[in-house]
Amino acid sequence: MRRVLVTGGGTGIGRAVAHAFCDAGDAVTIAGRRLAALDNAARDRDITRRVADVTDEAEVEALFDSPYDIVIANAGRGAPGKLAKTSLDNWNATLAVNLTGTFLTFRAALSGMGAGGRLIAIASTAALKGNASVPAYTAAKHGVLGLVRSVALDVAKDGITCNAICPGFTDTDLAGTAISGLMKRFGVDRERATGMVVSGNPQGRLVDPAEVAATAVFLASRRAAAINGHALSVSGGEI
């Protein structure tokens, strides 16, 4: 049985990923800052919960008291705001969670990961193109992709792969926040605001978290052993 760790596993994409691996028969651990969210995500499933902040080096290291076969660095955050209105605190916090958190998670994972191991970062289409509305988040996700490509070259000789999944707007709380923000900013109803959010997706819809989870399960499979250093867009054709 493979051991799987999912950071940010209490909600959204992380929760869907954890459920998908659990349903596939893997031993899953989810980590996050809020125990209540972790408990809710683990309800009716045999999932281990660990409270940890991915920006805290010691707390991340403590997660790896036993090695994992598959590690999904999913924890992230993003707040709208063009560059001129982005505070240094917001900039630092966004990079800390998305980029430094992925660095700390992957570094700790490699201390005990053996051949066949899988490192997967949940990035974003923001890792593949610019976005004037979320420069801090976009910069962080570009950094995540650079880290993935660099780590992939390093671990290839050890039989480990490192890849990124780049979802478009996904039906999670993050998308909900964006939709609510547009409703307030432009005085439009939820349907109109949702349409604005998904306008970049040729399919005209939010991505289902289960679609991202299925992609993670595939990248962790034996059949994906030759996929390394790749950014896989799950965005309906946006990228």
Candidates 196, 212, 168, 178; CA nearest to 20 is: 212
Hey, what are 28's tokens?
Answer: 């899953």
Q: Is 137 a catalytic residue?
A: yes
State the Cα–Cα distance between residues 174 and 44, nearest whole angstrom: 25
Closest of 56, 60, 2 to residue 31, by C-alpha: 60
C-alpha to C-alpha distance for 196 and 224, rounded to whole angstroms: 35
Question: In angstroms, how far is the first alpha carbon of the chain from the final one?
Answer: 35
What token pair was written down for 149? 């490509």
Q: Which of 64, 103, 137, 169 is catalytic?
A: 137
Residues annotated as catalytic (active site), given as ranges? 137
